[in-house]
Amino acid sequence: MSLRTLPLLVLNLGGEMLYIVDQRLRAQSIPGDKARQVMNDIIGGIFNKKFMDELFKPQELYSRKALRTVFERLVHASIMRLNAPSMDKLYDLMTMAFKYQVLLCPRPKDILLITFNHLDAIKDFIYEAPKTLAQVDATFRKLIDTYGSLSAGELQLIRQTLLIFFQDIHIRVSILLKDKVQNSNGHFVLPTSGPVPWGTEVPGLIRLFNSKGDEIKRTEFVSGGNYQLPYREGSFDLYGDRVIKLGTNIYSISRPVETDMSGAAKNLASRVKENTAPNPLAKEELNFLARLMGSLDIKKPLGNEAGFRLNLFTTDEEEEHAALTRPEELLYQVIKIQADKDPQRNEELARIMGEFEVAEEPKEKISKGADLLAMMDELDAEHECKSLPS
């Protein structure tokens, strides 16, 4: 498992989240000024400096539940709200889109190009917010500094870590089904034609060498696909042509997007279900959530600023039906953490901490909760100080 995977996972999933939110804002005819405000607020939350600093620290990936909690907080960093079924659908779409991109990635290094495609598109969503734009550029540079010098083996380990994270997730997405890149069982269709990875050759030729390294024979064979050499390598600079299209916005043309749990996924549900036994990393995972979300603020409408609900389904009836029919074993049991000093919320957090307590360490229960609450209070106090007018 690579300890450098989390930033790439969050940034690419965040890019897909913004693509979907932008598409739904347009589909629901949300006024332009309000839609731009929502996008600016969410992007500002994702690229918050403290959030990015925590994200780039070497660390293991945490559970899908923990990451979903982070993204629920991020998407609600504006006046927009999503109901649970819509949040489920949003996370499903994000997950399957990025899984498809990782599977089709021509070479491990190209995961960076996929990330850059997402960040290039995100910058186009920003409207009259130079500070947010500067934060995105700062993250660009941090990505280049962190991953630009990694070896092919280290990047391959990152790719394997991502694939392990996405393993056994087979959710059917209408766009992918219509484009014939996904089968009815939720598995992806990998192409047998197209450009080969940069630095490689088109398959169809076998070379034989002697002990001195001299080529002595060539044999051709039918590769079974129509392959071409890429015209050039994608740019890993702050600005440039990334060449590959993975990670670009597939929702730029408005069309309905549906998700459905495939039969294979339903059959696997009982086997891939999250373990409900005590988690020995429970304290670390809660602390991870506290650190990542401590600087993220849930925005509340002020004055005549009206909030609104975004629906990821075509109608409210479809959303209600999804809530009733989604398989129980695949519902996300989300831990909601509020980083504030509200006694009632602190009591609720203490209760959650009790549920996550490891049986072998009963004596640490009070100190664990106190440490976590102290960290969250400190983060919240710092955030409130920065929010006060000077």
pLDDT, tens digit, 9 for 90 and up, residues 22-62: 999 988 888 889 999 999 999 999 999 988 998 999 988 88
219 domain-assigned: no
Strongest mean pLDDT among 51-55, 159-163, 200-204, 311-315:
159-163
For the chain, the 3-state helix, strand and coil shares in percent, each to the nearest 5, are: 55, 5, 40
222 domain-assigned: no
DSSP summary character for residue 152: H
pLDDT at site 253: 66
Contacts of 356 (CB under 8 A, 6+ apart): 278, 279, 282, 283, 285, 286
Contacts of 123 (CB under 8 A, 6+ apart): 133, 136, 137
Confidence band of 305 (pLDDT split at 50, 70, 90): low
**pLDDT at position 306 over 70:** no
Mean pLDDT of 100-109: 93
166 domain-assigned: yes
372 domain-assigned: no
Q: How far apart are CA 317 and CA 276, in angstroms?
A: 32
Q: How far apart are CA 156 and CA 162, in angstroms?
A: 10
Pick the more confident residue, 116 or 1. 116
Pick the more confident residue, 81 or 254. 81
175 domain-assigned: yes
pLDDT at site 286: 63
Mean pLDDT of 197-215: 92
206 domain-assigned: no
Mean pLDDT, rounded, of the chain = 78
pLDDT at site 78: 83
Strongest mean pLDDT among 113-127, 303-317, 338-352:
113-127
**pLDDT at position 281 over 80:** no
pLDDT at site 294: 59
**pLDDT at position 64 over 90:** no
Alpha carbon of 57 to those of 50, 140, 292, 367: distances in Å? 11, 16, 11, 25
**Burial letters 169-178, b for 16+ CB under 10 A, else e:** bbbbbebbee
- Tell me which residue range forms the domain holding 21: 6-188+239-272+296-336
pLDDT at site 225: 86
231 domain-assigned: no
57 domain-assigned: yes
pLDDT at site 231: 86
Please tell me the pTM assigned to this model.
Answer: 0.75
Q: Say how many domains are in the chain.
A: 1
Instruction: Indicate the burial class of 103 (C-beta count within 10 angstroms; 0-12, 13-18, 19 or more).
Output: middle
**pLDDT at position 266 over 50:** no
